[in-house]
Structure 1
């Protein structure tokens, strides 16, 4: 009986001694997704505009010069809408801004960045939408006399900003590149 008590005491001692270490918090982690570096090619269409497109995407052009740029590996798309300016520039600008600010209910913040390229006669606004809004980036670009193009990023999933953030940043950079490379046909 004595040896059984001794063994029980010895096991109890080891159990209590093993639990005495400092508790360390685990570091926070984030989803780590990496995408290939973008390579761009010039898209020349029968429409009145051309731009550079990421090779990772597929372009679907409609007969009214609207376009969808799909990114199958990111499960997202950039939607482009073209309008001809016919003494309606103020209405087109108002519609583009209204479309962006419809996301204000779900967005944490909307950051506006002006875009001016006098050499290409291209002027516009880029909107970076933060939070669980349906579209994380939008833009409009115009020459203010003939051409007006709007674009929006959408993902084929319910908005969850933390989950789609890496893909949203990737597409945001592509949409900026599209804006910077737009050329209007004369």
Structure 2
């Protein structure tokens, strides 16, 4: 009888232990953020114009400089205009220096040249990866009279993994600004 009780207890224990589901670690996942499709509209300045995402708000417009604010992403694109007065070399070196000041915290900086021969718009886009203060910088010029710089900043401590979806979205907006920027005197009828 004692052997039957022991055998029953062992059988019961094995059944209970064998029916237990094995615990597996959950796979890593990333937060999926989706933003509205851009709604484009023109933005006219004194010496230049471009197409902007109208989901952004024109936060400030000071002379030829402006800020496009994206409150749903807690970020802004700052755009500054300067007239070229025999100082193109200095303007170019300042724009490049500002972009590479982020190299200390950045994992990498990707340079993407921009050339629009037909409308005389030339420039460079710098995409910054890593925990840098700015995720994108750019400049555009006609090499004679006009010089525009721009930068993307988020109002949060830099954490590249967290801001990545918003950075990609706003980098698309920056590319669209670069592609559509025209100098006023180069406007075709």
TM over 0.5: yes
Instruction: Give the structure-1-normalised TM-score.
Output: 0.90
- What does residue 125 of structure 1 align with? 124
Distance in 1 (alpha carbons) for counterparts of 2:60 and 2:159: 29
Helix, strand or coil: the match of 1:138? strand
Q: 1:11 to 1:90 in 2, by over 3 A?
A: same
Matches within 5 A, 1:21-36: 21=22, 24-36=24-36
Q: Does 1:14 align with 2:15?
A: yes
Q: Which runs of 5+ in 2 are unaligned?
A: none
- What does residue 153 of structure 1 align with? 152
> How many residues get paired?
184
Helix, strand or coil: the match of 1:179? helix
Matches within 5 A, 1:1-186: 9=10, 11-19=12-20, 21=22, 24-45=24-45, 47-186=46-185
Shift of 1:7: 7.1
CA-atom RMSD in angstroms: 2.1
Shift of 1:5: 6.6
Q: Deviations over 1:37-96 (max 9, x none)?
A: 112101113x21111110110113433311100001111000011111000000000000
